[in-house]
Amino acid sequence: MAKLMIEDLDVKGQRVLMRVDFNVPQNDDGTVRDDTRIRAALKSIQYVRDNGGMLILMSHLGRPKNPDKAESEEEKAKIIKANQKLRMDFVADKLRELVGGNVTKVDAIVGPEVKQAVDAMKPGDIILLENTRFHAGETKNDEALSKELASLVDVYVSDAFGSVHRAHASTEGVTRFVGKSAAGYLVAKEMEYFSKVLQSPDRPLTAVLGGAKVSDKITVIDNLLNLVDTLIIGGGMAYTFMKAQGYEIGDSLLDEGGIEVARKAMEKAKERGIELLLPEDTVVADAFDATAHTKVAGLGQIEPGWQGLDIGPKTLEKFMAAIAQSKMVVWNGPVGVFEMEPFAKGTRAIAELLANSPGITSVIGGGDTAAAVTQYGLAGRMSHVSTGGGASLEMLEGKVLPGLAALSDK
């Protein structure tokens, strides 16, 4: 069922509660180090302002601890100090800079102070509420908190894809008590691309999976084997697949619990006629360090004391050929330790191939994969770079995400 979109709402004179993802990287002093997530919400923010709405924004920031649960006064003081950095004041400063002022930060999530500020709003005004996770009811999806948030506004907009896989008061609970709930531009774009991958992909469809643990991606591997034409396995999880085939992997990362999963995945791929591509050679190092000695090792030739940290040249050639003949590629997880230059070649080459292939629809999962393509300055040349690591993974697992399911149907 299609969901209500922000443009379906008549926001003129309406109080709009918008859940955004302002969980931004911060400097040591709390100032915003990277404003990408704030910028990602600007289109939805501007829509409400341009159309005469009054906008109340809310987001979490980090993982604040509860000082009341401290075991000593010293620990309590440390928690209070750490939580100060997680207040939304620095985010409000950055938002004012980006939208040209007119942003009021309120030091609460609900309560008399918030109600007073909302009652005084005029069309075009923006209020930013305090960090939602400062309220114990947020992560518990507390009904009383959800009702109080809903009582402040006329409509709700979800534009925090990075949080829609969590059933919290600000992402799911509040929708039960407002008249209409719609997807903002950011969430709508995420839904569009992931729906295409899952329901009507351009073929051949190739998935590239990397990351460390096979057991973390059991469901996504299983679901993708029902969807894709080719599945490419790289990154740390590839060594568990090698071990499952009986090859020696030296000191490479091994997920013991994932060996049986890898075996079953290889069997399923064979049964379904899906091409499952695994590394044939590996760039190995004698330490997990950018200055370590490195060499290329063939399949089963990784010696004790050495560990695989990137795909080798033959593997890269094989992976690139499969990607090049695809019409759609979904990529979740780097194929090497891209943070260290000697082990970044595979990840960078795949990113560059996708960036230079306008005929391929490229859907980049959030988290480390998004960080890699951004680091290489290639994010703008991908069809879609997801803003939610956990949410994009759950979408690929075929799960129903509570924050999306809760939105009003068209």
Q: Spot the catalytic one: 53, 367, 389, 403.
A: 367
- Give me Rg for the CA atoms of the chain: 23
Say how many residues make up the chain. Answer: 410
Please state, in angstroms and rounded to a whole number, the distance separating the CA atoms of residues 234 and 226: 19
- Compute the Cα dihedral for 88, 34, 209, 358 and give only its sign: positive
- Compute the Cα dihedral for 146, 151, 152, 157 and give only its sign: positive
The per-residue pLDDT string of the chain (410 residues; one tens digit each, 9 = 90 and over) reads 699 999 999 999 999 999 999 999 999 999 999 898 999 999 999 999 999 999 999 999 999 988 888 788 888 888 888 888 999 999 999 999 999 878 999 999 999 999 999 999 999 999 999 999 999 999 999 999 999 999 999 999 999 999 999 999 999 999 999 999 999 999 999 999 999 999 999 999 999 999 887 888 889 999 999 999 999 999 999 999 999 999 999 999 999 989 999 999 999 999 999 999 999 999 999 999 999 999 999 999 999 999 999 999 999 999 999 999 999 999 999 999 999 999 999 999 999 999 999 999 999 997 899 989 999 999 999 999 998 888 998 999 999 999 999 999 99
Residue type, 202: D
Look-up of token digits 């859940």: 19
Q: Spot the catalytic one: 30, 52, 124, 390.
A: 390
Residue 263 tokens, joined = 């075996």
Q: Spot the catalytic one: 76, 78, 147, 213.
A: 213
For the full predicted model, state whether its pTM sits above 0.85.
yes
Cite the beta strand spans of 54-111 per DSSP E. Answer: 54-58, 103-105
Please state, in angstroms and rounded to a whole number, the distance separating the CA atoms of residues 171 and 159: 10
Q: Please report which helix (H) or strand (E) contains residue 128, including its range.
A: strand 126-128
Local structure of 190: helix, strand or coil = helix
What count of other Cβ atoms lies within 10 Å of the Cβ of residue 237? 26
Active-site residue flag, 389: no
Active-site residue flag, 367: yes
Every domain of the chain and the residues it spans: 6-188, 201-396
Looking at CATH, the fold of the domain delimited by 6-188 is given as Rossmann fold (3.40.50)
Look-up of token digits 């033959």: 314
Active-site residue flag, 390: yes
Residue 299 tokens, joined = 């399949």
Q: Nearest 5°: CA angle at 31, between 28 and 33? A: 85
* In CATH, 201-396 is 3.40.50.1260: yes
Q: Spot the catalytic one: 19, 37, 217, 243.
A: 37
Active-site residue flag, 213: yes
Residues 209 and 185 sit within 8 Å (Cβ to Cβ): no
